[in-house]
Structure formats: C-alpha cells, structure tokens
C-alpha cells in the first residue's frame, strides 16, 4: 500500500515501572542526524518542532511526529526520513545527548531565548510549582505501579506453557500464509519500537489512526489473558527472519507486554483488544485467542480476572487525575516564564532553521 505521509507515535510511557523511554533508538540509524533541543518550560520546544514538521509536510515529505506522553497536544520529537534528520526534546524525563557530537547530532539551546536574569526574581514561585507538579507525577507512578500489579491478565499470569505454545502455533500458521519466504542471502529485518497508547493528562489515549495509516489490514487479537503478546512475539520473529522490517508497540502500562504490531511493507497490522475501553482502529478480522488458555474454562479464574481488571482500571483513572493535576501546575509554571521569553526571537529561529533545510 502507499505509505502514509505522516505518522504519530509516543516514545515515552507513564507506566507501572515509572517513566519508560524508547528515545535511545530515535533517529539513530546510519546517516541520521539528531538535533537535541534544550530549554525550560514554556521556551517553545514543541512549537519549534511543529513548525519544522509542518514545513516538511508542505514540501510533500514524510514526517514522523513524536507526541509527549504526559500531554499528547505537545510534541517531543520530529523525524524527516528524506533528510535523515530528527529533532527531540532532550530535557527530563527523557534526557538525551548525541551518540557522537557533530557526527550524529548536536544541540539547539532554546533556553537562550529566556531572560534568566529576570526569571530569577520568580525563583520561589518557579521552584514551588516545579516541586508540586513533580509530586503529582510521583503519586501517579505509585498508582500505576499498583495498577500494574493488578493487571494479571495483561502480564500473562494466568497462562501456562501450553497456552503460549498454542498462540505461537496460530502465529506460525498465519506467517506461513501472509509472509513471503526469505530469498537466499536476505538479511534480518529491522525492528523499530514505538508506543501507540498511554496514560496522559487527557486520560487514556490511543493513536487510533496510526496503524490503519500504515496497514490496509489490521487484525484484532483478543488479549485479556495475555496471549496477544505471545502471538505478536512469534509473528515479529518470523517477520524479521524473512528480511522484513517490523514495528512493535509495547503496552504503556506493562512494557513487557505488546499492544500492537505493524509490518508496513505488507500493509499488515495487529492490535491487542484488552476490552478496557480503548478506542481501537477498524479491523478486518478478530483472532479469538482468549479461547485458548486453560484458565478460560475456569469460572473462578474468569471472575478473578474481571475483578482485577476493574481494580486496575480504577487505579489508572486515579493516576490520570494526578497527571491532569500535574499538567495544570505545569501550565502555571509556563505562565510564570512567559514574560521572560523572547517569542519573536524563537519564531525567527524556527524560520531560519526551515530556510537552512530548504523547506521555505
């Protein structure tokens, strides 16, 4: 199928294990150059990257947007494959540095547009708001950790080896039908990891349009007992061993589990259905993996799983209320900085960058 011009993903997740990052592999391919943006709250990092991404789109270039895991309305990264060029917010919690400065990346200091000599006069307010929003994040991570412990289905705690083998067998059967045989001398495909969902200040989010944009056919995998992960792990290994590239999407709450998978070259995708209220993309067919586990025949196990799902959902909801409270405080923090930021200078810098890239 024709490749989608733009894609949207997350590279970070607010998870049961704290903040989990996939930024270490972003824009790190051969010939890639990553510009790492530094600057404080309200210093225009997201707007700068959005300006570049939109300019590239207007020139007909494919763009990969990386959304902020805490606030999906904000950008944390942009990658333009045709230019082998990326930009990323390199501030906490995803602190970044170039693998080799000057060869594979450099820095952009947007903090230079903030008059810190004047902002020091608001030190008490800035420090107080920073401590307060970080406390809300700490509470959110405590609640997500509890939700993770309650998510026994997603973790595959009800499964035995025979259950996983049955799911792997289903995946091997589908691979035989859907995947071309590897030609002699074919190298291993490239694996990319991205998040599609997350817990944010806006509640639970799932980038519903991304998978259908890459894949004409998306299969829904029943996943309440955790067999969607076993299926996709096997399918991914078969894909890579046949020389095809693959995108694996860890689950935001328990990154050891999988939420989705895409094989862009074949227009083929898979998404786990946990029946947790996530708005999933339209799918062509459902694979009933929840019929395979022995625990599915155990009424007591099904009742326990349902109770744990309710508990985990409630804990996640509470965590996301804390993330929303943190966002409100972060907005206040940005408002304190705003009078000290030279937005005209920031806009000029963004235009200079797009002109340098030939995107104006």
Q: Is the peptide bond before 165 cis (omega within 30 degrees of 0)?
A: no
3-state secondary structure the chain: CCCCCEEEEECEEEECCEEEECHHHCCCCCCCEEEEEECCCCCCHHHHHHHHHHHHHHCCCCEEEEECCCCCCCEEEEEEHHHCEEEEECCCCCCCCCCCECCCEEEEEHHHHECHHHHHHHHHHHHHHHHHHHHHHHHHHHHHHHHHHHCHHHHCCCCCHHHHHHHHHHHHHHHHHHCCCCCCCCCCCCEEECECEEEECCEEEECCCHHHHHCCEEEEEECCCCHHHHHHHHHHHHHHHCCCCEEEEECCCCCCCEEEEEEHHHCEEEEEECCCCCCCCCCCEEECHHHCCHHHHCHHHHHHHHHHHHHHHHHHHHHHHHHHHHHHHHHHHHHHHHHHECHHHHHHHHHHHHHHCCCC
Q: What does each of the 360 residues of the chain score in pLDDT, given as a tens digit?
A: 345 579 999 999 999 999 999 999 999 999 999 999 999 999 999 999 999 999 999 999 999 999 999 999 999 999 999 999 999 999 989 899 998 999 999 999 999 999 999 999 999 999 999 999 999 999 999 999 999 999 999 999 999 999 999 999 999 999 999 999 988 888 999 999 999 999 999 999 999 999 999 999 999 999 999 999 999 999 999 999 999 999 999 999 999 999 999 999 999 999 999 999 888 999 989 999 999 999 999 999 999 999 999 999 999 999 999 999 999 999 999 999 999 999 999 999 999 999 999 998
Q: What is the pLDDT of residue 4?
A: 53
Q: With both helix axes pointing from N to C terminus, report the angle between 343-356 and 45-58 in degrees, rounded to the nearest 10.
A: 30
Q: What is the pLDDT of residue 2?
A: 45
263-298 burial: b if 16+ Cβ within 10 Å, else e:
bbbbbbbbbbbbebebebbebeeebebbebbebbee
For residues 114 and 340, the answer to whether their CB atoms sit within 8 Å is: yes
For residues 227 and 293, the answer to whether their CB atoms sit within 8 Å is: yes
Q: What is the pLDDT of residue 210?
A: 97
Q: How far apart are CA 360 and CA 358, in angstroms?
A: 6
Q: How far apart are CA 29 and CA 316, in angstroms?
A: 35
Q: What is the pLDDT of residue 186?
A: 86
Name the residue ranges covered by the structural domains of the chain: 6-114+341-356, 120-340
Q: What is the pLDDT of residue 5?
A: 76
Contacts of 245 (CB under 8 A, 6+ apart): 189, 190, 191, 192, 239, 263, 264, 265
Q: What is the pLDDT of residue 130?
A: 97
Q: What is the pLDDT of residue 183?
A: 84
Q: What is the pLDDT of residue 1?
A: 37
């Amino acid at each position: 199928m024709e490749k989608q011009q733009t894609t949207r993903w997350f590279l970070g997740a607010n998870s049961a294990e704290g903040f989990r990052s996939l930024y270490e592999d972003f824009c790190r391919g051969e010939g890639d150059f990553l510009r790492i943006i530094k600057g404080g709250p309200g210093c225009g990092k997201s707007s700068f990257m959005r300006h570049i991404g939109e300019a590239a789109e207007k020139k007909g270039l494919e763009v990969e947007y990386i959304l902020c895991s805490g606030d999906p309305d904000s950008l944390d990264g942009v990658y333009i494959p045709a230019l082998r060029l990326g930009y990323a917010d390199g501030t906490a919690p995803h602190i970044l540095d170039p693998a080799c400065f000057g060869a594979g990346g450099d820095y952009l200091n947007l903090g230079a547009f903030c008059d810190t000599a004047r902002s020091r006069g608001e030190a008490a307010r800035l420090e107080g708001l920073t401590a307060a929003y970080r406390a809300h994040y700490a509470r959110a991570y405590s609640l997500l950790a509890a939700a993770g412990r309650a998510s026994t289905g997603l973790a595959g705690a009800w499964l035995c080896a025979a259950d996983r083998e049955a799911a792997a067998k289903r995946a091997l059967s589908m691979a035989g039908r859907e995947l071309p045989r590897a030609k002699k001398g074919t190298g291993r495909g490239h694996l990319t990891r991205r998040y599609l969902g997350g817990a944010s200040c806006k509640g639970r989010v799932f980038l519903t349009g991304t998978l259908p944009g890459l894949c004409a056919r998306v299969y829904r995998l029943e996943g309440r007992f955790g067999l969607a992960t076993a299926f996709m792990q096997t399918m991914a290994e078969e894909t890579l061993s046949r020389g095809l590239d693959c995108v694996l999407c860890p689950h935001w709450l328990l990154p050891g589990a999988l939420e989705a998978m895409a094989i862009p070259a074949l227009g083929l995708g898979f998404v786990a259905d946990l029946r947790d209220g996530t708005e999933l993309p339209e799918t062509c067919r459902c694979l009933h993996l929840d019929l395979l586990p022995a625990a599915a025949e155990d009424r007591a196990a099904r009742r326990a799983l349902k109770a744990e799902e309710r508990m985990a959902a409630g804990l996640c909801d509470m965590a996301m209320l804390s993330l929303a409270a943190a966002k409100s405080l972060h907005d206040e923090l940005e408002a304190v900085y705003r009078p000290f930021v030279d937005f005209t200078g920031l806009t000029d810098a963004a235009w200079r960058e797009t002109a340098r890239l030939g995107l104006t």
